[in-house]
Amino acid sequence: MALTRDLALAWSLAGRLVRSRRSRRTLDRTGPTRRLPAEGTIRVAVYFADTSVNMYQIRQWYGPLAHLNERYPVAIVARSPGAMLQLLEESPVPVVYARQVADLEAFVAAHPLALTLYVNQNAKNFQMMRYGRMWHVFVNHGESDKMYMTTNQFKAYDYAFVAGDAALERLSAKLWDYDLAKRAVPIGRPQADHVAGVVPFDDDGKTVVLYAPTWEGDRASAAYGSIATHGVALVDALIATGRHRVVYRPHPRSGVLDREYRRAHESIVKAISDANEADETAQHVYDSGSELGWQLVVADVAITDISAMVYDRLATGRPLIVTRPVSSEADVDERGYLGDAEWLTADGAGDVADLVDRVQADPEARGRLDHWVHHHFGDTTPGSATARFEGAVERLVDLRDDYAAAQPIMAEGSEGGPDEDDDLDR
């Protein structure tokens, strides 16, 4: 198994290199047609150094960024040619391609940047973070109880926009000498205010169940994926009732390393297709699209694995079921929300319809859910998180301008020469 995973990983890396070079050639041909922001306009940059495989991390911010762009001009800075091509097709705000540090310097010098937002912890972030006359703000790409949410890397940023009290408690417990009151700013989850996509079925009274599993993981401690252990049984059971509609949205990497996992995924896709062919009113959905929004909001009940999807759904305040990992090595921290979660075991997957019915009707389950929704995200009234996000941005824009007026110095672009490693593909 380990050898198979290593070979799959090597093949994946080789494929990414080929795609990167192809994407670079495409960008070279289409460069003159790109829509660039007018010089001297951008106040907020969003830095994305990852390749297209991690586009989901920036996509979830499209809605909030488009809304913020109405107040403060926003641009996404891409470092990878493949990601740049995707962003050119998708982004609701201007995109700047900065493959080399010299390109980054030119962008910084051309705009009155007040802050830069970071959606992940890519090592290339430091090539942007060396510019001092702006704020560097970590906004992450999800809320969860994973170790990633308390990494000491938080200290590298001037500020972090976090979801709520749960995030503050995590950081307080894990980070030494970190000024939470000043540097961690609770904003809720503004993504929940911006529903992306069009619902592809009719509202006919059926109970809509979103099943959004994660991938199989690359190590035993991260084996949270349920497709091979729960997925086939739970989807078959829900289809069989005739009163449930399944929306199946797997992680895009599902089955890349594990053949059994891939076969289970393919079985679920076939079951959905067969059910729709047998009954045109069934309207079950296999969702492999890039947009995430309507799925979380429309579903009456969501079933997820331990992943950021738990907290994406929690932000909507609607019923949620979490699959219990089969692997004894999978790390499950039940000190927070997971201690009160509605769990679905592999053995109980065939009886999932009863659990779906119960979590909708049980007032005690509703009370537990409401407690954790507020603990993680604060006020989830539509629009409230967007207001907090934009208010936090406004305060930092004003603060930056106050500092810049009091301490005028050299142009931003002269704060240091290019790094030796200025090519993302080296």
Rg (CA), the chain: 22
pLDDT of residue 336: 84
Residue found under tokens 């301008």: 401
Extract the runs of DSSP E, i.e. beta strands, from 79-154.
95-97, 115-118, 135-138
Query: Is the entire prediction scored with pTM above 0.85?
Result: no
Distance CA 124, CA 80 (A): 11
Q: Tell me which residue of 67, 73, 114 sits closest to 96, measured CA to CA.
A: 73
Sequence-ordered strand ranges (E) for 280-409: 285-286, 301-304, 320-323, 343-344
For β-strands 95-97 and 301-304, DSSP reports them as unpaired
Specify the residue for token string 């390393």: 257
pLDDT per residue over 354-387, tens digit each?
Answer: 999 999 999 999 999 999 999 999 999 989 999 9
Q: What is the SS3 assignment for 384?
A: helix
Rounded to whole angstroms, the Cα distance separating 329 from 224 reads 10
Quote the CA–CA distance of 97 and 76 in Å, as a whole number. 9
Question: What's the pLDDT at 27?
Answer: 54
CA 212 to CA 275: how far, in whole Å?
19
Tokens of 84: 């740049």
Domains, the chain: 13-188+382-414 (3.40.50.11720), 207-377 (3.40.50.2000)
Q: How far is it, in rounded angstroms, from Cα 84 to Cα 90?
A: 10
Query: Residue 285 — φ and ψ, nearest 5°?
Result: -130, 130
The side-by-side arrangement of strands in the sheet containing 95-97 is: 95-97, 74-78, 44-48, 115-118, 135-138, 159-162, 184-186
Q: Say which residue the tokens 């993680």 belong to.
A: 376
What is the chain's pLDDT, residue by residue, as a tens digit (426 residues)? 455 555 554 555 555 555 545 555 555 555 544 568 999 999 999 999 999 989 989 999 999 999 999 999 999 999 999 999 999 999 999 999 999 999 999 999 999 999 999 999 999 999 999 999 999 999 998 887 666 788 899 999 999 999 999 999 999 999 999 999 999 999 999 998 987 788 999 999 999 999 999 999 888 888 999 999 999 999 999 999 999 999 999 998 899 999 999 999 999 999 999 999 999 999 999 999 878 889 999 999 999 999 889 999 999 999 999 999 998 888 888 878 999 999 999 999 999 999 999 999 999 999 999 999 999 999 999 899 999 999 999 999 999 999 999 998 754 444 544 444 444 443
Residue 44: count other Cβ atoms within 10 Å of its Cβ: 26
Give pLDDT, residue 420. Answer: 45
Phi, psi of 111 (to 5 degrees): -135, 150
**C-alpha distances out from residue 343 to 17, 86, 325, 359, 373, Å:** 40, 37, 10, 11, 17
pLDDT of res. 291:
80
pLDDT of residue 257: 92
* Angle CA 241–243–244, to nearest 5: 85
User: d(Cα 174, Cα 177) in Å, to the nearest integer?
Assistant: 10
Q: What pLDDT score does 30 carry?
A: 53
Handedness of CA 240, 244, 245, 249 (dihedral sign): negative
CA pair distance 288, 252, nearest whole angstrom: 7
The dihedrals phi and psi of 116, each to the nearest 5 degrees, come to: -120, 130
pLDDT per position as a tens digit, 142-163: 887 666 788 899 999 999 999 9
Q: Helices 232-241 and 352-361 sit at what angle, rounded to 10 degrees?
A: 70
